[in-house]
Chains A and B, each alone.
Chain A
């Protein structure tokens, strides 16, 4: 069944969408989209390390992204620079260092476009395994920290006062972000992963009245984007990442019509 590259890509995409749906909601609620960008840009460095030392790609990206997240937290504590400046500093410098290292690795043939924008031809059975096993672990951990993470998203002090340990939940969530980037890099490409997190969640925000509903619609939106995007990628021979993100943008625009409708109903 997984002999066909398209079936592999489809299952990989579905696995990614199931995870980015709920995580994306937290990225929107906690205003972490630039944080996501920084982690995914730093993923290029992880990719070069994987190629140089023959490591597993997803594992290497996970380690580097988690490391960058740790460095960011330390810099936030120790410097007086604003958060967005630190995010920009880390995002661009890690991307730059990654590209410089690639320049030195002339003995390996790199598909830069594939790395940046995703490549459905590159998904192997091993990748599928990593996406589904890794994705399942991410979802289980998210379920475990859900109450604490959500309560502290609504109000940090309330969560702290009533014994939910929001700091631990935040640290675990940061690691989950690094993990989701690691498993989606082949599918969506490192420049567009944050789009996969934010756009379906933003679409879901437009049509939801409760947090659980938003998570549900965000997953549905992600799944539809993957299926639509991959079929059009096959049809028009375009990169998989941009096709998926364009499809999710299409869904977002449709959700805006719903807002207009409810606004009209209210008047």
Chain B
């Protein structure tokens, strides 16, 4: 069955419906070792749903999913810690896997969150919490990393640094990354493949041709353009307010 040994997860025409309504449908994509796939699209376009299908959180799906790894690291889009639970960053790091203290500290210092190690999880700011979430996901050295808006709430310089880190992780661990961008037009320049969603796959392709976009360079400077890039694309159809698809 396994045609390509580098494939970690593969969706074939996958979809998920809730109460008879499709949240997303007809998604085909694959994440390979050492490759970064970025999902972009407006709010409610099914990015997180697609990630949850790939992760196996949603089980009753349409279409097919093939998954070839169990070593998964996940940064969910939102997570709320109940105040009834006394839990420090250190406890959170070993939530799903037993890792050594050195590994915990290494991962936390990579994301710039080592000073938070003994803090209560409920007392962190949004940006601090994102750094801890990312540290937890990479600390277990996963084969597949699914990052749902991993840099939301992080300041701009921190954002560049974290994207730099994600790129480094994908090279060092040779893991596949499924990344959901919080910005419709911004994707990492290290991205191998971009999928634009809006309830279905609107378009997809490689972002390399826009890597040196002049407008972007002018806006954010040389350093930023090495890490981030604008993904310019045109659609051959528009979505009406009723949810119908209209060809241009």
Instruction: Point out residues on A near B: beta carbons under 8 Å.
Output: 28-29, 31, 147, 150-151, 153-155, 157-164, 205, 208-214
Q: How far is the CA of A28 from the CA of B85 in the complex (A)?
A: 9
* Chain A hits for B70, CB < 8 A: 163
Known: A160-B55, A160-B56, A210-B91. Contact between A205 and B146, CB under 8 A? Answer: no
Interface size class of B (residues with CB under 8 A): 20 to 34
Query: Is B1 positioned at the interface, with any CB of A under 8 Å from its CB?
Result: no
- Whether the pair B84, A28 counts as a contact (CB closer than 8 A) is yes
How many A-B residue pairs have C-beta atoms within 8 angstroms? Tell me.
67
Q: B41 contacts the other chain (Cβ, under 8 Å)?
A: no
A212 to B90, CA, bound (A): 12
Question: What chain B residues lie within 8 Å of A210 (beta carbons)?
Answer: 86-88, 90-91
- Of listed A151, A157, A161, A208, residue having the most chain B CB within 10 A: A161
Q: How distant is A210 from chain B, measured CB to nearest CB, in Å?
A: 5
CA distance A150 to B120 in the complex (A): 17
Residues of A within 8 A of B146 (CB): 161
Which residues of B does A touch, CB under 8 Å?
Answer: 52, 55-57, 70, 72-74, 76, 79, 81-82, 84-88, 90-92, 95-98, 120, 146
Count chain B CB atoms within 10 A of each CB in A150, A158, A160, A164 and give the residue with the most.
A158
Collect the chain B residues with CB atoms within 8 Å of residue A208's CB.
86
Q: What's the minimum C-beta distance from A31 to chain B, rounded to whole angstroms? A: 7
- Tell me if A29 and B74 are in contact (CB < 8 A): no
Q: Nearest chain A CB to B164's CB is how many angstroms away?
A: 25
| Chain A residues positioned under 8 Å from B79 (CB to CB) | 155, 158
Q: Is the CB of A154 within 8 A of B87?
A: yes
Return chain A residues, CB-CB under 8 Å to B91: 210-212
Contact B96 A29 (CB under 8 A): no
**18 A-B pairs, CB-CB below 8 angstroms?**
A147-B96, A147-B98, A150-B95, A153-B85, A154-B95, A155-B76, A157-B57, A158-B74, A158-B76, A158-B95, A160-B55, A161-B52, A161-B72, A161-B76, A162-B96, A209-B88, A211-B85, A211-B86
- A212: nearest chain-B partner, CB-CB: B91
Q: Tell which of B81, B87, B146 has the most Cβ of chain A within 10 Å.
A: B87
A157 in contact with B86 given A209-B120, A210-B91 (CB within 8 Å): no
Q: B92 — which chain A residues lie within 8 A by C-beta?
A: 154
In the complex, the answer to whether B84 meets A31 with C-beta atoms within 8 Å is yes
**Inter-chain contact A151/B120, CB cutoff 8 Å:** no
Q: Across the interface, do B72 and A154 meet the contact criterion of CB distance under 8 Å?
A: no
Query: When chains A and B are docked, how far (Å) is the Cα of A160 from the Cα of B91?
Result: 18
Q: Complex formed: what's the CA distance from A159 to B57 in Å?
A: 9
Known: A157-B57, A158-B74, A162-B72. A211 touches B87 (CB 8 A): yes
